[in-house]
Amino acid sequence: MDRPEIVAPAFARPEVDVAQKDGGVLVLSSPELLGDYQAHLGISLRRWAREAPDRTFLAERDGDNWRRLTYADAAAAADSIAQALLDRGMGPERPVMILSGNSVNQALLTLGAMQAGVPVAPVSPAYSLMSQDYAKVKHILDLVRPALLYVETGPPFAGVLSSLDLSGIELVCGGPPPEGLDASSFSALLSTTPTPAVEQAFAAIDPDTVAKYLFTSGSTGMPKGVINTQRMMCANQQQAAQIWPFLAQDPLAMVDWLPWNHTFGSNFNFNMVLTQGGTLYIDGGKPVPQLVEETVRNLRDVAPTFYSNVPAGFAVLLPYLEQDAALRDHFFSRLQMVFYAGAALPPDLWQRLEDVSIAATGKRVAMVSAWGSTETAPLATGVYWPIESAGVIGLPAPGVEIKMVPNGGKMELRVKGPNVTPGYLRRDDLTAEAFDEDGFYCIGDAGRWADDADPRRGIVFDGRVVEDFKLTSGTWVHVGGLRVTALAAASPVLQDAVVTGHDRDYIGLLAWPSLAGCRSVAGRADAELAELIEDPNVIARVRESLARHNAAQRGSSMRIGRVILLVEPPNVDANEITDKGYINQRSALERRAEDVARLYAEPLAKGVIVIDA
């Protein structure tokens, strides 16, 4: 049976120029020139405060209702905060550091700081609330050297704050302060009367002004502070506007949980809403069983026009869209595009998203992706045409050059453009290592053509160059593609996995089961994960689904020999997981070396599932 057509919003025409270089190197670029972009984000805030002063810019939950902030109110608050920071003598060398999660207050503090020329360093709340030693927060504090440290409310952060040397740092709280620590109130910043000094600071900001320090989770070691300039962010929003012209047709409405300490939630989603004069509903939910109900509650209230998420987010949301027709129909009632990024979207999730969109609208809503990193602000390539399956990451955005370099049987991707970072905070050594001799940022990912005969069909993500390994037979295992394929085959039992097998005879998986999926397969609605990983029905589903996967493969590079189901979740202190829920392959393998040894032990260790070849 033919699938219904894809209903796509206004896209640019996909085009790409390809230049051949020595050694099999290709350099890709868009034939469309990058248009003019504004000098800094504060210009957008003031623009919409003039043109749509009463439009809701930001909204967050306040009990059963929403606390709403208009563009006019946000601009006025940003001016007051800018003055308060200037009164404190803050500037490029005296930044703001934020420990708590997304909120209206954090947005206002960020906007006020940036228009005063004060960099902002938002830090993953997990480093404060889930950590045992607070080592990452201490490391970041030492790099940033802030003059002001903000938390939304003090008590949850009492542990981390008491462990820090706050000498010379003003602590500001949006709510009650932590016991035993002096703190200023956020309301005091808001009550400051702006003076001409704000206008002088505003006028002094240029595209090279540092706006933010965003910290990457890092494959190893401590987080790196990526310098984010106004040029990076504003050029990136112009690039998005040119490939997706529909963004300017109607005000955007987003419901979003993605953290602002990460480039996807902040530079992509938040900045897009601000640049386009839309409305952002701050979602207090998360893509985990305990918190997804909050996301569902918010989506019952607000129908988004643009919905972006990571695969882990779609995985936990889809059961609600599939089982609740009213929620499904409301969700798709004005949705123009579904956007995923941050990790590869397994084929089964793609199919299920299509199915619910067809059930709601009779059509397929356009689903697209993009590719980039914190260092590229983040969009470097984007999909701006209808695609039939996951994996395509698009073509270079206007103003971006993509270099494809042969590397270990793959084509490594490197990036140059106005959206690329100038480097890392106080780490000239890391900055020098990150760029090649031609000034391209070496991101560590690989790509290949979706269609060798037609480059306009785009690039397909081909995994991380640094994650791939060889079996003892000398066969390369391409981790990214195998992981996605294996998780799709074992749906709905497996939620995520790391791939093992470096210098081994066969491939293994250390896999995290899906609680909801395992309960469904086992028929045990209240069982805990520790029980479910030993349930015969769960074990049989893993064994049989991956055996079918193996039977469909031609070579050892895709066949899985053994699996261990893990109960302990990925550990944030050990860099095993990012804020987006993406597993760090290298760090997880290093931390779980004992599990890897158990996976390959002879005689067979307890809990190891053997998969038929």
| 487-527 per-position pLDDT tens digit | 989 989 998 899 999 989 999 999 999 998 999 999 999 99
On the question of pLDDT at 266 being above 80, the answer is: yes
| Residue 54 pLDDT | 98
Strands 337-340 and 306-309: parallel
Q: Give domain limits for the chain.
A: 15-38+232-464, 42-52+66-205, 469-610
Q: What is the CATH superfamily name and number for domain 15-38+232-464? A: ANL, N-terminal domain (3.40.50.12780)
Which two three-digit tokens encode residue 226?
């990526």
Q: Summarize pLDDT for 550-566 with one digit per residue, the tens.
A: 999 988 899 999 999 99
Task: State how far the Cα of 166 lies from the Cα of 157, in Å rounded to an integer.
Answer: 14
Domains 15-38+232-464 and 42-52+66-205 share a fold: yes
Instruction: Identify the band that residue 580 occupies on the pLDDT scale cut at 50, 70 and 90.
Output: low
| Structure-token pair, residue 382 | 């984007």
Per-residue pLDDT at 579: 59
Nearby residues of 93 by Cβ (< 8 Å), 6 or more positions away: 145
CA distance 568 to 439: 42
pLDDT value for 412: 96
Query: Which stretch of 94-108, 224-238, 352-366, 564-578 has the lowest confidence by average pLDDT?
Result: 564-578
In this model, does residue 573 exceed pLDDT 80?
Answer: no
pLDDT-wise least confident of 15-29, 112-126, 441-455, 564-578: 564-578
User: Does residue 320 have a pLDDT over 60?
Assistant: yes
Q: How many Cβ atoms from other residues are within 10 Å of residue 611's Cβ? A: 23
Classify residue 13 as exposed, middle or buried by CB count within 10 Å of its CB (0-12, 13-18, 19+).
exposed
Please write the tens of the pLDDT for every residue from 177-190.
999 999 999 999 99
**pLDDT tens digits along 489-498:** 998 999 889 9
**Integer angstrom CA distances of residue 349 from 403, 425, 603:** 31, 38, 37
**Cα dihedral 389, 320, 268, 94 sign:** negative
For residue 370 the two structure tokens come to: 């993009």
Q: Which of 76, 72, 67, 149 is nearest to 103 (CA)?
A: 67
233 vs 341 pLDDT, higher one: 233
Confidence at residue 475, expressed as pLDDT on a 0 to 100 scale? 86
pLDDT at residue 578, rounded to an integer: 66
For the cut 80, the answer to whether the pLDDT of residue 1 exceeds it is: no
Q: Which DSSP category does 181 fall into?
A: -
Say if residue 472's pLDDT is above 70. yes
Query: How far, in Å, CA of 276 to CA of 305, rounded?
Result: 13
Section 294-304 average pLDDT: 98
Pairing status of strand 364-365 against strand 337-340: unpaired
Cβ atoms of 11 and 171 within 8 Å: the answer is no
More confident position, 368 or 474: 368
pLDDT at site 463 = 81
pLDDT for 46 equals: 98
Distance CA 457, CA 393 (A): 10
Do β-strands 401-407 and 392-396 pair in parallel, antiparallel, or remain unpaired?
unpaired
pLDDT beyond 70 at 219: no
- Over residues 225-262, the pLDDT tens digits come to 999 999 999 999 999 999 999 999 999 999 999 999 99
Q: Above 80 in pLDDT, residue 342?
A: no
Token digits for 502? 């470096």
Whole-number average pLDDT of the chain: 94
pLDDT in tens, 30-78: 999 999 999 999 999 999 999 999 999 999 999 999 999 999 999 999 9
| Chain segment 396-418, per-residue pLDDT in tens | 999 999 999 999 788 999 999 99
Sign of the dihedral through C-alpha 566, 571, 574, 579: positive
**β-pair partners for 508:** 500, 562
Please compute the mean of the pLDDT values over residues 89-113 and round it to a whole number.
98
Of 109-113, 202-206, 286-290, least confident by mean pLDDT is 286-290
Instruction: Say if domain 42-52+66-205 classifies as CATH 3.40.50.980.
Output: yes
Reported pTM: 0.87
Statement: residue 581 has pLDDT above 70: no
Q: Beta strand 56-62 with 224-229: parallel, antiparallel or unpaired?
A: unpaired
Answer yes or no: is pLDDT of 218 > 60.
no
